[in-house]
Chain A
Amino acid sequence: MERDGYLLYSQTRGYQKRVSGLHVLVDSFFDRATSPYISMSFGKDSLAMAHLILINRPQVPLVYVNCGKYDEWPDTPRVIEQFLATHKGCEFIELQGPSIWEYYEEVGWYLQDEESEKAERGAQRRYSESLGDLLGAWAEQNGMDGSFIGMRKSESRIRSRLLITRGNTYFAKTRNQWVCAPMADWNGKDIWATIYSNDLPYNELYDLMPQGRELARNGAMFGTRSARYGRLAFLKRAYPELFYEFAGTYPEVRNYV
């Protein structure tokens, strides 16, 4: 489906109900958390979610973890700039996080989720937890007691299981804060209907990825999860300069293009 299709879909009752349901959920979340923030990656999901929340509640701060050149896609700075121009005056906080490159430097290159060595598994675990740890520490320091996340059930089986077990609003004991996933039941069509009908800026990689805009993800650029499903082949195709920089240091990546 392309732009016109999503625009038509955005006028359906089904979609309108999704949006009104999201606003009800967000409003009710404020009964539990008094000062929540929006966790942003500037991927399609968090972008749509942040826009819908900020329409009614522009005082909610946006928190983005910038993991540097090797994790963030080249088009992300443009998306950030244009999104913030759309929501002038919103509070935007940018934190610096570790890049996956740092973990490759530490233990050597590895395939995420297919690590064969103990050191690689340890590095991957620490990398996976680094984002949450950083956001948790920041939230605690700044008296934040809740967060909005763009996680959806249809993204993966693990996420689906998590959201079915916990529901779209839950208390995360380890972080000692409330979490709300207002788009837990949304699908890719709903996300793109929101982006197009509100004329939101989005990352160019969604136009380029072979799996289509509804399934495309903006994970770590030099990440290797799903390498055998073409993740690195896409990197080589869309951003050859960056791919060859990666392959120059870790020639093993050439086995996956």
Chain B
Amino acid sequence: MASNDVPMRVTAYMRSGIVSDEWFPLDGILLSQWVRDDLGVRDVTVPGASLLAEPKGEPMRGGRMPIKVTHNKDWYYHCSWAEWGPYVDGTEYWNKRFDNPLADLIEFDGRRGKIDTSAAMYKAYRMPMYYRSALWVRWYLVGDIEKIRYLLATVTHIGKKISQGWGRVAKWEVDEVAEDWSIWRDGKLMRGIPVYNLPKDVRATRRVSYGVRPPYWDKRNHMELVVE
């Protein structure tokens, strides 16, 4: 543990519902902030190039975050998954449909064209969005509290579909706490851990193939985890 690593509790007080799964890890949000802080805003960077080593022997960009790491066969951060405050679950929909009355606005470069609403650009959608409206969401982690505060200071929305207003954060609270609850709390798992990390005297009831560290979408980070 680095000298300035401390156990902390991060709370997001919510203004709108969150579109995410029930686990919703914080280190995924922090990694996005960390990489953007290093590389700059999305508009000025090259897709796919963010974590590549720089030429002429310069150090790799992005890199590890100011969070304590558990070193194992598969390393992961000391950062819990979401603990939900009082909440209700709901469903909303987003729709996309070709607008027939506006068909004459499409340019086919002077030739005949066909509009296919079952594929490609004009494909129609009606997608349910499962959201959770919670008063607050809380995580526990161990790391550099000042850097975590700095990274969260510019996070205004969390989860999916933030362009539609989902996941709006009213305020963040980052407090130092006495105990490290980032992985275990009173014998209960606070995040997914690799199956082989589970102590022999603990019985797992729920397993899932999920990312062990961010980016969680990256297949290379997927493995069988114990979550309960």
Contacts and interface: CB of A to CB of B under 8 A. Distances in A.
B128 A210 contact: yes
A233 interface: yes
B119 A114 contact: yes
A251 B219 contact: yes
Please report whether the interface of chain B is mostly helix, strand, loop or mixed according to DSSP: strand
B206 interface: yes
A233 B217 CA distance: 16
B203 to A, nearest CB: 17
Nearest to B129: A233
B38 interface: no
A234 B222 CA distance: 21
Contacts of B128: 210, 230, 233-234
A78 interface: no
Please indicate which of the listed interface residues B118, B128, B207, B217 has the most CB atoms of chain A within 10 Å of its own CB: B128
Nearest to A240: B21
Contacts of A240: 21-22, 208
B123 A237 contact: no
A170 interface: no
B70 to A, nearest CB: 21
Interface residues of A, number: 18
B127 interface: yes
B182 to A, nearest CB: 22
B39 to A, nearest CB: 23
Interface in B197-228: 206-210, 217, 219, 222
A241 B208 contact: yes
B125 interface: yes
Given A248-B219, A248-B222, A230 B208 contact: no
Given A240-B22, A244-B208, A248-B219, A114 B118 contact: yes
Interface in B63-98: 91, 93
Nearest to A237: B130
B127 A228 contact: yes
B155 interface: no
B126 interface: yes
A244 B210 contact: yes
B126 A228 contact: yes
B131 to A, nearest CB: 10
B60 interface: no
Contacts of B21: 236, 240
B124 interface: yes
A231 B109 CA distance: 37
A166 interface: no
Contact of B127 (A116, A229, A245, A254): A229
A158 to B, nearest CB: 14
Interface of B: 21-22, 91, 93, 118-119, 123-130, 206-210, 217, 219, 222
Interface of A: 114, 116, 210, 228-230, 233-234, 236-237, 240-241, 244-245, 248, 251, 254, 256
